[in-house]
Amino acid sequence: MCGIVGYVGQQEAVGVVVEGLRRLEYRGYDSAGVALASAGGLHVAKRAGKLANLDKVLAEQPPAPTTTGIGHTRWATHGAPNDVNAHPHTDCHGRIAVIHNGIIENFAELRDTLERAGHEMDSETDTEVVAHLLEEVLPACDDDLGEALRTVCRLLRGAFTLVVVDAQDPDTVVAARRSSPLVVGRGDGENFVASDVSAFIAHTRDAVELGQDQVVVVTRDHVVITDFHGQPAEGTPYQVDWDASAAEKGGYDWFMLKEIDEQPQAVADTLLGRLSPNGTLQLDEMRLSDDDLRDVNKVIIVSCGTSFYSGLVAKYAIEHWTRLPCEVELASEFRYRDPVLDRSTLVVAITQSGETMDTLMATRYARAQRAKVLAICNTNGSTIPRESDAVIYTHAGPEVAVASTKCFLAQIVACYLLGLYLAQVRGTKYGDEIATILDQLHGIPAAVQIMLDGAEQVRALARELVGATSVLFLGRHVGYPVALEGALKLKELAYLHAEGFAAGELKHGPIALVDEGVPVFVVAPPRAREVLHDKVVSNIQEVRARGARTIVLAEDGDESVVPYADELIWLPRVPTLLQPLVATVPLQLFACELAAALGHDVDQPRNLAKSVTVE
């Protein structure tokens, strides 16, 4: 989940590379470093901590002018986050510099072989072995760095993106990928490689996504792609449809606040263009036929973290609209329990980045079992959509803050679209029923905006509760995943003990956590779900009787909760299945404000990275 960038062109490389790292720092910020290649050799600078530490080093020891360089921002896997383990890593003679995203599983045996051959390692990382392997094979490859990297890649096991420069070939950057993201940016007299297009979006929107087991040799005028055996290969070209300003804060204190405020647009854009001229639902990226979908007898959703909670919301809608059984699985556990899959199973992989390793391996397992796989993803051209049978892209735009907000809402909307599409194909909903639900979905951006317009109430509440040491969240039906997501946001950002529970489980153990003054958020279902609603009102009374401070999220005008709520957050009136799209917003705002009040880095919480590309 590290950030990588490489540049060859006509501009001063250090500026381009550091600018790229700044846009990639959300992928990891344990350390950062650059290697700049010129006729005078390599200039390597790296420091533990955030990018500002590297900036200081480069200001104090400016490198010689050069137009070729690579850079890395790290989320530590092998080795502690310190200066020595920071990337780039070099060979014994300082000729070759390597940066890496992923894990090399057989690095220990490779390291042992290299050390017995006389190579001396400085770091604890798996990455350093690649620099020494390149040093070892370069002479046999006639000093051709591309051929040397292909040779080395054939020796490696695991998931990796590698980017390499050679002081003796200072006008070339070579990169390789296996099960880890790598994209090429094509410019005019300059070319780029990166783990994410945001690294070079200020310079070009012309991108090429590398395929599995491919190597790319980049000069200022050429991009040459081969497979690991040297055979010509092609990546997947595409045009990036957003610009650099979309990845800037735009005057907000935090990217997360900006992205929370972008949620009405994210929902609207994800719904855009989904109706055909005759009024039926259409999903342009759906590569599964109607017959394929009619054959489905079970849906399994696999995902991680926040995406997992969007899947839990989706389960209620899919089962209700299609009458198909729907399971929701943590991707990290899925393939290890020997799940029952066949050609009639539809596996839905939900992922913001399209590179989440646990989810990727789950989808590969599903395909190996002949199940159909559909991806819900926010990143065009990423690995999971490319390896799936179908894809529904969310159109939330770039999400920079590590804690997901707008992508969560967009994922829920995409899941609803999938459920409605299955209902349409399978005939479990009439066309007018589907049209009504779609109309309700099109009203959600305005409902979310209402929550955003009332944000000050929630932010003031967060500042008031800055001394809280434990916060509980309760919900039923689709309110239960909302409670889980609210608790996760608080854990991620404020580093507080926070738990989400199904409200009906309260008396089966969690009520023991309720003590005098403990804040308890309760998501009350709409009054139309009368039985559920009344049970949740009883739950509110139960925790209040034991001293809890009750913060109730309730449908506008629901007077029945007023006597039992210490704080009321009114939600716009929406159908029950759509309530998570409005109920989640105040919980996002609460976590963001509380974390800021505690002095934490909201966009880059400790120990976390945006895209988890290792298992």
Kindly list the catalytic residues.
2, 610
How many Cβ atoms are within 10 Å of 219's Cβ, its own excluded? Answer: 16
Q: What's the Rg (C-alpha) of the chain?
A: 25
User: Apex CA 372: angle with CA 370 and CA 377, to 5°?
Assistant: 135
Q: Which amino acid, one-letter code, is at 12?
A: E
> For tokens 């951006």, what's the residue?
445
Query: Is 488:460 a contact under the CB 8 Å cutoff?
Result: no
Q: Which amino acid, one-letter code, is at 614?
A: V
> For tokens 């399994």, what's the residue?
300
> For tokens 């804690």, what's the residue?
403
> For tokens 């001293």, what's the residue?
547
User: Apex CA 153: angle with CA 168 and CA 90, to 5°?
Assistant: 40
Question: Distance between CA 126 and CA 360 in Å, rounded?
Answer: 22
Tell which residue, 24, 441, 364, 74, has the closest CA to residue 194.
24
> For tokens 């945001």, what's the residue?
198
Question: Distance between CA 105 and CA 507 in Å, rounded?
Answer: 46
Structure token digits, residue 326: 């729907």
Question: Distance between CA 203 and CA 186 in Å, rounded?
Answer: 9
Query: Is 558:524 a contact under the CB 8 Å cutoff?
Result: yes
Tell which residue, 158, 134, 163, 205, has the closest CA to residue 21.
163
The β-bridge relationship of strands 158-166 and 298-303 is unpaired
Structure token digits, residue 284: 């342009």
Query: Is 172:191 a contact under the CB 8 Å cutoff?
Result: no
How many Cβ atoms are within 10 Å of 168's Cβ, its own excluded? Answer: 14
Q: Which amino acid, one-letter code, is at 249?
A: K
**H or E segment and range at residue 570:** strand 567-571
DSSP class of residue 347?
Answer: E
Structure token digits, residue 354: 């399209």
Q: Which amino acid, one-letter code, is at 296?
A: V
Q: Is 546 exposed, middle or buried (0-12, 13-18, 19+ CB in 10 A)?
A: middle
**H or E segment and range at residue 328:** strand 326-330
> For tokens 């991620």, what's the residue?
492
Q: Is 210 exposed, middle or buried (0-12, 13-18, 19+ CB in 10 A)?
A: buried
Question: Distance between CA 77 and CA 87 in Å, rounded?
Answer: 12
- Give me the sign of the Cα torsion angle 543, 545, 548, 554: positive
Question: Distance between CA 72 and CA 93 in Å, rounded?
Answer: 21
- Give me the sign of the Cα torsion angle 380, 383, 386, 387: negative
Structure token digits, residue 37: 């290649």
DSSP class of residue 478?
Answer: T
